[in-house]
Amino acid sequence: MNTRPGPTTRIRIMELSGSATRERRDYLATEEPLEIRLTAPDGTRRTVAITMRTPGHDFELAAGFLHGEGLAGPGDIAAIAYCTDEDLPPEARYNTVTVRLRGPIPDLPALDRHFLTSSACGVCGSASLESLHDRCKPVPRGRLGLTPEFLYGLPEALRAAQGGFGKTGSLHAAGLFSATGELVAVREDVGRHNAVDKLVGWAGLTERLPLAEHVLMVSGRTSYEIMQKALAAGIPAVCAVSAPSSLAVELARKFGITLVGFLRGERCNVYAGSERIAME
């Protein structure tokens, strides 16, 4: 029996419209836990994260999470697979991913406890801005010049690629755009930070990191966690349809990332990195 969960779940609901009611089928975004395990060549094994996510692109999610937290880069990963341990019930096997490392499991303070994350917030106890300086460099200025026309076209391009949102109305999206405005890749999830992890994981597993000539566009707000993941991936510009948090702006300014919010129609706010905005 195939117990692999899909990105959407079909249910029956009662719909009210005025004084009339009817029963119909509806689609919900699937939300299930994903356990990320690390294994080393000597056989040691550790669980490093349990996150609530929308099933799909799970290997990318694991790779992106590990990269963003500085636990393992693409070159450190030998293989990724769903766990088939006999101690796991069948319904849990597609909710557990094992990442086999080429070397030992990193001895980091973060591994003294599990990263327990949810679909609504980022990693609990995530690294402070000061500690990010130990493993992340400021984003180079580069050749990226963003015109207003380029920015104004991003939300609609992202929305048009959100197949899951169109079906359920409840999935966040992260889209990666080239400097010419081409949508390179898009990922969806109930958690906005998971969507970014999936995108960064895809880039890492396909040897595209760092993403120095790309723009990240996210639905919803921009949090510290999203900016941390963008910084680790070398992304020079992050745009969102809603406002950023104060810590997201502080991170953007300290590390030279262009941060755009309230990007709707033909208006937006530039919170950091305005030097990359190419006005006529």
Location of structure tokens 């899951």: 164
Look-up of token digits 């984003």: 139
Annotated catalytic residue 136? no
Sorted by sequence, the CB contacts under 8 Å of residue 180 that are 6+ apart come out as none
From CA 134, how far away is CA 151, in angstroms rounded?
32
What Rg, from alpha-carbon coordinates, does the chain have? 19
Which residues fall in the annotated binding site?
Answer: 262-267
- 3 state DSSP class of 275: helix
Largest Cα span, the chain? 66
Question: Could you say which of 121, 136, 239, 268 is catalytic?
Answer: 121
Nearest to 37 by CA among 109, 88, 75: 88
Helix, coil or strand: residue 32: strand
Q: Which residues contact 43 (CB under 8 A, 6 or more apart)?
A: none
- Residues designated catalytic: 121
